[in-house]
Amino acid sequence: MARVVVTVPVSFQAAQRHDTLRAAELAGLEVQGVDLLDEPVAAFLDYLVDHSQNLLPALETPKNLVVFDFGGGTCDVAVFQVKLSRGQDPIQIAPLTVSRYHRLGGGDPWGP
């Protein structure tokens, strides 16, 4: 069975992450086994898929990356370490720090 991955803004706190899963459940989606993935990590993985020929050789030694994810009125920033592995998880991503300031990208025109 495939794992379901839901992306969330990196600034989401525990309660907001819980609410995201609850909203999916209320919408009739199966939330057992769902992984929440911070948007900057998802953006990096998408970039990695598109540019794997150039990036994979560079990741043979652990690298620290800074990823900026602009969009939707937010700017999420994450610093994480990426390394290739020969084990069960071929790519290991360890978050080092993330932005928690939800107003970094500007105001929400539909907000209060």
Residue 86 pLDDT class (50, 70, 90 cuts): confident
- Residue 53's identity, in one-letter code, is Q
Q: Which amino acid is at 74?
A: T
* Distance separating alpha carbons of residues 110 and 112, to the nearest angstrom: 7
Residue 2 has pLDDT above 60, yes or no: no
CA angle in degrees (0–180, nearest 5) for 94-8-49: 60
Dist CA 6 CA 88 (whole Å):
22
Structure confidence at residue 105 (pLDDT):
58
Mean pLDDT of the chain: 81
Q: Please determine, for residue 54, whether its predicted confidence score (pLDDT) is greater than 90.
A: no
Q: Residue type for 36, please? A: L
- In the chain, where the domains are located: 4-98
Least confident of 53-57, 68-72, 90-94: 68-72
Look at residues 93, 61, 59, 91 and name the one whose alpha carbon lies nearest to residue 79.
93
Q: ∠ CA 99-102-108 to the nearest 5 degrees?
A: 150
As a whole number, mean pLDDT of residues 79-95 equals 84
pTM for the model: 0.72
